[in-house]
Amino acid sequence: MKRNPTVLLVVLFVLTITTAKAQVAVSDVKGEAFGRSIHGLGFSGGPASGIGISYRYHTEGKSSLQTVLGIFKPKNTDTFYSFGTEFQQDLTRSRSARFFFGAASSYIYNGSGSNNYTAPFRFGVGLGGEFLLQDAVHFSFQGLFTYFSDGTILPLPQLAIHYYFY
């Protein structure tokens, strides 16, 4: 009997999430905390919003604003800069998760004197989810259709991890 590896990976992923939810203890303050404004600090990575340290502000309502700044200068390579912003609008949320619509934009520079990228401006729209990992630490995953300034459009993922100051 031949097994499809994609089906096995999906089943394993679903079982992992189900098990992880059962192991997370959520206090009463976590779910209601999104009813007031919250500040978060973390790391975000993706082609639409950029790569680097991120600051997220979740308003009292159902929207979030995020900025991303990354500056990397390895020893023997060119400098890498990433400047990005993102807007998120909650579609639904529970005590330990929220699902949202996201729109992000960024400018990415890599070079010494001139940019090595032919498409440094990016813009993406799509859906995402944020999940409580432990205490005030949240992990988010997004799938955004990303437009590059050279005309390319690709569906690409974005990941982020934030610590919220409740």
The whole-number pLDDT of residue 162 equals 96
Instruction: Give burial (CB, 10 Å; 0-12/13-18/19+) of 40.
Output: buried
Query: What integer pLDDT is reported at residue 27 of this predicted model?
Result: 39
pLDDT value at position 135? 86
CATH number given to 33-165: 2.40.160.20
Q: pTM here?
A: 0.76
Q: Where are the domains of the chain?
A: 33-165
Residues comprising the chain, all counted: 166
* pLDDT tens-place string over residues 57-86: 999 889 999 999 999 888 888 889 999 999
Report the range of poorest mean pLDDT among 25-39, 47-61, 123-137.
25-39
- How far apart CA 18 and CA 81 sit, in angstroms, is 38
pLDDT (mean) for 98-119 = 92
Would you place residue 5 in the very low, low, confident or very high pLDDT band (cuts 50, 70, 90)?
low
Q: What is the pLDDT of residues 90-107, one digit of tens each?
A: 999 888 899 999 999 999
pLDDT at 108 over 80: yes
For residues 86 and 82, give the distance between their C-alpha atoms in angstroms, rounded to a whole number. 13
